[in-house]
Amino acid sequence: MAKVTIVGVGPGSPDYVTPIARRTVQKAHLVIGAQRVLTLFLEDVKGEVLALTAKNVNELFQRAIASAKEGKMVVLLSTGDPGFSGLLGTFLSFPQASEVEIEVIPGISALQVCAARLGMCWDDAVLFSFHKGADNANKAELAEALKKGKNVMLLPDPKAFSPSEIARFLIANGIKGDTSAFVCENLTLNNERITASTLEEIAMTHFSSLCVLAISPQYKRNTKVVNLHVDL
């Protein structure tokens, strides 16, 4: 059966691209991915390259499947890990996806890096992604998890549900303003920044679009914003 391989490429730095990801791209006849992801593999790509955009997703998925059926090795590049707010879900929802075998090569997700930067065990954390928007049901689940004392890690939607909007929503729905919150921006990149604060102060602060928000009701920190600049 024809096969399409979806490769996780990590959170953005070439240092976080796994060796197997590079080897897979090197063997591929066709590589498809967003332009900023393709730049991580400039020295690895030997085959054809197609830049994926929001407007040509269906067209390039059809091209990927057709090429796979021709016997070509096809790779789709996904930021972070394909299985969490990555390209896997998008491809699985494509009607013709069932016509090919799907191989997934995992990558290092921004959530993993965030937890590592904070020295946080996240095996008991509740995970959310709002990259595809925030409906009332998901928002309610977020508030409920925090009311139960759970640690939460989430990917905000920079337009529909940014960190500041999330903080305001949670406070309005019964979560204490002095609850510890951490925003990890531009993880693994040269402009990485980690802010340790509270929901109350996060609600009044603007952050970049590439960020992870971690919230912990289990302990309190100094309410002063502390920016930790990581030298990479």
**pLDDT digit string (tens) for 26-70?**
999 999 999 999 999 999 999 999 999 999 999 999 999 999 999
Residue ranges of domains in the chain: 3-105, 110-228
pLDDT tens digits along 98-141: 999 999 999 999 999 999 999 888 999 999 999 888 889 999 99
- pTM value > 0.85: yes
**Multiple choice CATH, 3-105, 3.40.1010.10, 3.40.50.20, 3.30.70.330, 3.40.50.150:** 3.40.1010.10
> Is the Cβ–Cβ distance between 14 and 32 less than 8 Å?
no
The pLDDT assigned to 119 comes to 86
Q: Which three-class secondary structure string do you get for 27-90?
A: HCCEEEECHHHHHHHCCCCCCEEEECCCCCHHHHHHHHHHHHHCCCCEEEEECECCCCCCHHHH
**Structure tokens that stand for 186 in this block:** 């531009």
* Of residues 155, 144, 146, the one with CA closest to residue 184: 155
At a CB cut-off of 8 Å and minimum separation 6, what does 11 contact?
A: 79, 80, 108, 109, 110, 113, 187, 188
User: Which CATH number is 110-228 given?
Assistant: 3.30.950.10
**Structure tokens that stand for 159 in this block:** 């337009």
Q: What are the helix and strand counts (H, E) for the chain?
A: 8, 11
